[in-house]
Amino acid sequence: MIEIRPQEGIVGEIKVPGDKSISHRAALLGSLSREGIEVENFSPGEDCTSTLSCLRTMGCEVNRDAVSGKVSVKAPDGLKEPSDVLDAGNSGTTARLLLGLISGIPNIFAVITGDESLKRRPMGRVAKPLVAMGAKIDGREFGEKLPLAVRGRKLTGGVHTLQVASAQVKTAILFAGLRAQGATTVIEPILTRDHTEIMLEHLGIPIFRKGLEVTVYPASTLKGASWTIPGDFSAAAFWIVAAAITGESELHIKKVNVNPTRTGLLRVLQRMGLDYSIEDETLSGGERMATIAVKSSSLKGTKVMPEEIPSMIDELPVLAVAATQAEGTTEIRGAGELRVKESDRIHAMTEGLKRMGAQIEELKDGWIIRGKTKLSGTRLKSFGDHRIAMALAVAGLVAEDRVILEGESCVHISYPSFFEDLKALTTKSQPKERVSS
């Protein structure tokens, strides 16, 4: 457990870890390249480590420099049938994207599993469209839950209309489509993060995008490439909110991914009154990268609509924290997907913020939060969920007394240095050394 103390402000500069979504995709596409893909600033989190481990098990050459964050992945002789189970750990992205990748490689058999949390998460939304393409997938609850067994086959392209707005499902189908016969089209109900499309275009893969439709064409092999992965906006989100709600903040978050399909939080916070600017924008690997400068802000409540949710799904827990410090009522709807993440994030944030004295009402698909509320110091639990732990740590910065957070080590899933960075940025000695129970 760790102690979080109230703070006067968040001051300075920071670089957050490399984007987790992009890191997964770069590594997995590297496994389809004989020349290899090499990236700087690969995510240091355990989720992406799980992806690299699975690729090694399938015969990929994987090199990783922990100091520089440089990672290279290639498969000179193609992917091989693994001799052991592929363990995705806590990573839903690893499990779902591997299903798409393996499904289109004939004669490869693999079993994909994960930790207890991942075994509870839905996989049928990925398995069903892949089976429709000709894949052979089976597992618990008729292919709905891990462990799943997949045997690669020759697949057939086609048109897939998604019922759930999910970049992971879209990507799994597109990965399978790279080895399918004919074009593969995915139609989304709402535009989701488009890192896969950008990366495929950057690698020269035939792909066509129009509105909510994306079509990929077969590619026998991928060319090699190298680039720098931008900082993870989902990691930056915690610092954006922390700077906004603390009283004397001025923070520059350097080289962050500002892809519009990821920055829904900024658009919502902007209409709530966020004082920020985007500076020094450039491109890296086809992705937009910039510095986000944030100052203390007077926020007002707002209404977040279902169509906004896909561009900020991972940032909703920390948006709930911001809402407790905004004048008026904030209503967040259409976020039922939070119920099937690493934890039930709707319930976890409700419980945590209520313990701190927030006026928060739990809805089936979101929250109603009334502010501005003085939060109290108390003892909180992370629910083993990295985003819950970091969001509640941000809430602790504006509490009237210290917060004791249990289970904080789960931040290693995506942001291992979070608490070290927090200590470096805050104006008082914070966070305190871990305390005994």
Degrees to nearest 5, angle at CA 424 with 421 and 426: 105
Closest CA to 358 of 385, 333, 394: 394
The backbone torsions φ and ψ at residue 71, rounded to the nearest 5 degrees and listed phi first, read -135, 140
In degrees rounded to 5, what are phi and psi of residue 306? Answer: -55, -35
Judge contact between 242 and 294, C-beta under 8 A.
no
- Cα distance between residue 328 and residue 382, in whole Å: 27
The torsion angles phi and psi of 137, rounded to 5 degrees, stand at: -135, 135
User: Are β-strands 213-216 and 250-257 bridged in parallel, bridged antiparallel, or unpaired?
Assistant: unpaired
Residues with catalytic roles: 314
Other Cβ atoms within 10 Å of 433 Cβ, number: 8
Rounded distance between C-alpha atoms, residue 27 and residue 36, angstroms:
9
12 bridge partner residues: 251
Q: By three-state DSSP, how is residue 231 classified?
A: strand
